[in-house]
């Protein structure tokens, strides 16, 4: 089912946790809410579930206004980070709970409930464990029971709050792939919250990046990674470098040197340059480039990471090179130029603060090729 969040505002006391958030979730979509802690992602999820009520704004399930409906009436499936299984019930009873508590007019017969619960346990690959108690299962198994339990009520939308947060890395990876499979097979509209960008980018059809109670960007993993629309997204997703530069007559200058990048049609003034460590090219001889001394060099899997010192006034910059390329360069001094980059104009004279909602960063930004 399609879910539309319209101009939602939520305050806890006088602290706004969400400020005028709107989001359209398409039917059958697997969507990730990604952000640092305190960004409001869990609050948004709980508002959709009805576990919190909005201070202002509306939530639609399909064409129906769900904002005034109680949790019970919304018919959603919710999976908690710490599973929240009923520990005095067997796995089977946990999964069938949602059907058993229905009023008798809507409750399927007992045999049907049992059959459906067993089917779901098969779907989550826990057949044969239906008589166990949650205490007798591993973390990964418990989370799968929680998912089966949430799916048993045939929810309008499946909501997962950091579903893999409490699991170790190995199980996490496995469950991630498995959740994608389940989603593709069942087609439930699914929203999950995570602070792990790798998880969000790998799993989701679309990613919603949130910060400080507002949505920064919504897009496919490719869009989010390749075309970040704000300094925050640039900084939060993946690795990035950020340099304070000045624009003069369509050229970008680092202090008193042009760095060989052009930004035509941009007014003169201060700006911030963002680029990713792997989006660079090395150049011999420097007539318009960035150059710095290598202060550290690390081998990370298939690439070599070099840390460069561009001068006292600037934060150190990290670049990634193929190892063979890195060893052939002069080790003390490296000259390079970003191949893909983006400029963000500073808001007023607050130099390093990333500009947020009010400043339409994308309008002012120019993207290099």
Q: Is 115 a binder of other proteins (CB under 8 A)?
A: no
Minimum distance of other proteins from residue 105's CB (angstroms): 13
Query: DSSP code of 359?
Result: S
Strand 190-194 to strand 158-161: parallel, antiparallel, or no bridges (unpaired)?
parallel
* Cα–Cα distance for residue pair 78/51, rounded to 1 Å: 10
The SS3 assignment for 141 reads helix
Exposed/middle/buried for residue 194 (C-beta within 10 Å: 0-12, 13-18, 19+): buried
- Full strand arrangement of the beta sheet holding 214-219: 77-79, 158-161, 190-194, 30-34, 206-211, 214-219
Interface mask toward other proteins for 183-222; x: CB under 8 A: ----------------------------------------
E strand spans, 38-87: 56-61, 64-65, 77-79
Out of 2, 55, 133, 178, name the contact with other proteins by CB under 8 A.
133
Out of 40, 54, 134, 292, name the contact with other proteins by CB under 8 A.
134
- The window from 141-149, 265-273, 283-291, 304-312 that contacts other proteins (CB under 8 A) reads 141-149
> Rounded to whole angstroms, what are the CA distances from 70 to 43, 53, 264, 363, 366?
16, 9, 54, 41, 46
Exposed/middle/buried for residue 28 (C-beta within 10 Å: 0-12, 13-18, 19+): middle
Q: Is 171 a binder of other proteins (CB under 8 A)?
A: no
Out of 5, 43, 83, 172, name the contact with other proteins by CB under 8 A.
83
* Cα–Cα distance for residue pair 104/285, rounded to 1 Å: 81
Minimum distance of other proteins from residue 206's CB (angstroms): 23
Minimum distance of other proteins from residue 217's CB (angstroms): 29
Minimum distance of other proteins from residue 150's CB (angstroms): 7
- The window from 61-69, 82-90, 168-176, 241-249 that contacts other proteins (CB under 8 A) reads 82-90
Q: Is 308 a binder of other proteins (CB under 8 A)?
A: no
Q: How many residues of this chain bind other proteins (CB under 8 A)?
A: 30
Out of 8, 76, 191, 317, name the contact with other proteins by CB under 8 A.
76
For the chain, report the end-to-end CA distance as a whole number of angstroms.
39
* Cα–Cα distance for residue pair 25/103, rounded to 1 Å: 30
Q: Which of residues 10-69 bind other proteins (CB under 8 A)?
A: 49, 51
Out of 37, 105, 111, 135, name the contact with other proteins by CB under 8 A.
135
Interface mask toward other proteins for 85-104; x: CB under 8 A: xxxxx-------xx--xx--
Tokens of 228: 């970040």
Minimum distance of other proteins from residue 71's CB (angstroms): 5
Largest CA distance in the chain: 81
Q: Which residues bind other proteins (CB under 8 A)?
A: 49, 51, 71-72, 75-78, 80, 82-89, 97-98, 101-102, 133-135, 142, 146, 149-150, 152-153
């Amino acid at each position: 089912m399609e879910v539309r969040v319209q101009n939602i505002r939520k305050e806890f006391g006088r602290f706004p946790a969400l400020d005028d958030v709107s989001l359209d979730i398409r039917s059958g979509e697997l969507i990730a809410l990604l952000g640092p802690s305190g960004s409001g992602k869990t609050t948004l999820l709980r508002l959709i579930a009805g576990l919190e009520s909005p201070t202002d704004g509306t939530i639609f399930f399909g064409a129906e206004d769900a904002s005034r409906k109680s949790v019970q009436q919304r018919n959603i499936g919710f999976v908690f980070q710490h599973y929240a299984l009923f520990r005095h019930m067997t796995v089977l009873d946990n999964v069938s709970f949602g059907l058993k508590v229905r009023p008798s007019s809507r409750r399927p017969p007992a045999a049907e409930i049992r059959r459906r619960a067993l089917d779901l346990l098969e779907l989550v690959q826990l057949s044969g464990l239906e008589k166990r108690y949650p205490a007798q299962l591993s973390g990964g198994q418990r989370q799968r029971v929680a998912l089966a339990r949430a799916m048993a009520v045939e929810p309008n939308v499946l909501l997962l709050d950091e579903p893999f947060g409490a699991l170790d890395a190995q199980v996490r990876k496995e469950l991630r792939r498995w959740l994608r499979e389940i989603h593709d097979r069942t087609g439930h509209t699914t929203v999950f919250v995570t602070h792990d960008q790798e998880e969000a980018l790998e799993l989701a059809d679309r990613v919603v990046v949130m910060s400080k109670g507002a949505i920064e960007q919504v897009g496919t993993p490719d869009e989010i990674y390749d075309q970040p629309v704000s300094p925050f997204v640039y900084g939060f997703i993946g690795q990035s470098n950020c340099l304070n530069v000045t624009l003069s007559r369509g050229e970008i200058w680092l202090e008193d040197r042009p760095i060989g990048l052009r930004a035509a049609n941009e007014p003169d003034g201060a700006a911030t340059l963002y680029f990713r460590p792997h989006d660079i090219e090395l150049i011999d001889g420097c007539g318009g480039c960035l150059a710095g001394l290598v202060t550290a060099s690390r081998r990370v899997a298939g690439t070599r990471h070099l840390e460069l010192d561009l001068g006292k006034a600037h934060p150190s910059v990290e670049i990634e090179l193929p190892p063979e390329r890195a060893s052939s360069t002069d080790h003390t001094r490296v000259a390079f130029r970003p191949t893909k980059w983006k400029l963000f104009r500073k808001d007023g004279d607050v130099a390093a603060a990333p500009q947020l909602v009010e400043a339409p960063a994308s309008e002012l930004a120019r993207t290099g090729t």
